[in-house]
Amino acid sequence: MKVLIVEDEDLAVKKLQRALVALDAELEIAGITDSIQATVDWLRTNAEPDLIFMDVELADGQSFEIFNRIEVKSPVIFVTSYDEFALKAFKVNSVDYLLKPIQKEELEAALQKYKKFGFANTATPNMESFLLDLQAKLRPKEYRARFLVKQAQKLISIEVKDIAYFYSDNRINFFKTHDNRRYVVDYLMEELEEMLDPKRFFRVSRALFVSAESIVKIEDFLGGRLVLQLKPALEKEALVSREKVSDFKVWMGK
């Protein structure tokens, strides 16, 4: 399957490329364009790709203008931070609509949807079906606001905003509050990943989620990793795994 990526942010291009290749080893990136005009020129001079990933907002305008300048027969998966463009996106050959930051599971689902329905170059997906999917996707996801934990013989409620980080130790999961109180949390790390707002917490390794407020210092470490100094202090090294370093830096810069 040959894919064209239309995106004007270098980091977004690299992340999408890595994610696509990881999901489908036979997928080929046929081209990358970063503007309306560059995309139009590419489509005029190259064979039609099997699928296009297209950011809505490009440096020289909205990518919908591409469809006004040239007939685009390839199916499109739109990628954007702005859900206000959703309905407009589905007036063209849209397979799906992904909101940034793209989640691996959603990207995989979009590819599977494309493969399952076998969109031909001239096919127009069922609008009603896609709009139902879109409504579900654009519905704001609710994250945990508090956790109920045991303290002696009673249960107490801890607000998520008061939690500095979550970590595993000897197969038991804990969290520490900003004022250095520690509690056992009765959820797997994978379950916590679904519950925690990714804007507030980042999973730096299999055993540690951190909040930006808990990070005092960041230093380089062996093997391309980073080591964090946290407040309150963690009893063991707080390492950012090598495969997480790039995304972690982006997250910290937001």
**Count helices and strands in the chain by DSSP H and E runs:** 8, 17
| Alpha-carbon distances of 101 from 31, 106, 176, 198, rounded to whole Å | 22, 10, 27, 10
Closest CA to 158 of 168, 145, 167, 169: 145
> Are 225 and 240 within 8 A, CB to CB?
yes
Query: Which whole number is the average pLDDT over 56-80?
Result: 86
Find out if CATH 2.40.50.1020 is the number for domain 146-253: yes
- The rounded percent of the chain whose pLDDT value lies above 70 is 83
Looking at residue 181, its amino acid is R
The angle at the Cα of 134, spanning 32 to 16, to the nearest 5 degrees, equals 25
**pLDDT tens digits, one per residue of 17-29:** 999 989 888 899 9
Structure tokens at 15: 């992340």
**pLDDT tens digits, one per residue of 39-49:** 999 999 999 99
Q: 2-138, which class in CATH? A: alpha beta
Residue spans per domain, the chain: 2-138, 146-253
**pLDDT tens digits, one per residue of 94-109:** 567 677 778 888 888 8
pLDDT higher than threshold 50 for residue 60: yes
Query: Which whole number is the average pLDDT over 171-175?
Result: 95
**pLDDT tens digits, one per residue of 213-240:** 999 999 999 999 999 999 999 999 999 9
* 69: DSSP letter: H
212 three-class SS? helix
